[in-house]
Amino acid sequence: MNKQIKSEDVLKVIKNFEKVLPKAKKEKNLDMNIGSVDVCKTAHCHGGWYTVAKINPLRRIITKMNYIEGANIMAKDLGLKSRVELQNWANDNPNIWGNNYGLLMFQSNGRVAFKSSNRPSGAYSLKEIIDHWKEVYERIKATEETEERKDITHELAVLPPAEVSDQKVKENVKL
């Protein structure tokens, strides 16, 4: 199954990351070995920051949160079932994801999942992850607009049979 992610859903993910960007003050604020993001103590990573953005603040005080929760919530916000489905989507759509490392987005070496010509070594900060998601948004949006144009072009190109008789078509072909 190759489900497509919608640009409007990617915008939701970007906005959620942007909510916690002020908390990501360190230049290099992505490190799976640091378990001190916010009070929930999740891993300092892509999924961890999404956990911080989405989990109820009262719940964070009660218990330690896992970055996998944020990864699964992100996948659901994108219309997918799980983080694994999101990773597989990125792997199956490298032209939209932007590279061949999408499977690694929630791994300890996950910074390479956000490689691009602007980030040849991958992401070292939440800001760089947001930038990557903005690039994904632009590619999805362009794909959606292309699909819309194809639909419109097809509708315009097809004339209802009642409007053009077979005889008129044959006459025009002979000219």
Query: What does the domain layout of the chain look like in residue ranges?
Result: 7-174
Residues constituting the chain: 175
Run of H or E including 89: helix 83-92
For residue 34, CA distances in Å to 23, 25, 38 come to 15, 14, 11
Q: How far apart are the first and last CA of the chain?
A: 49
Do the Cβ atoms of 99 and 115 come closer than 8 Å? yes
**Across the strands, what pairs with 37?**
42
Calpha distance 5→103 (Å, rounded):
16
Least confident range of 1-5, 67-71, 147-151: 147-151
Instruction: Output 27 or 84, whichever has higher pLDDT.
Output: 84
| Secondary structure class of 151 (helix, strand, coil) | helix
Do the Cβ atoms of 92 and 2 come closer than 8 Å? yes
pLDDT in tens, 61-119: 555 667 888 899 999 999 999 999 999 999 999 999 999 999 999 887 788 899 999 99
pTM value is 0.76
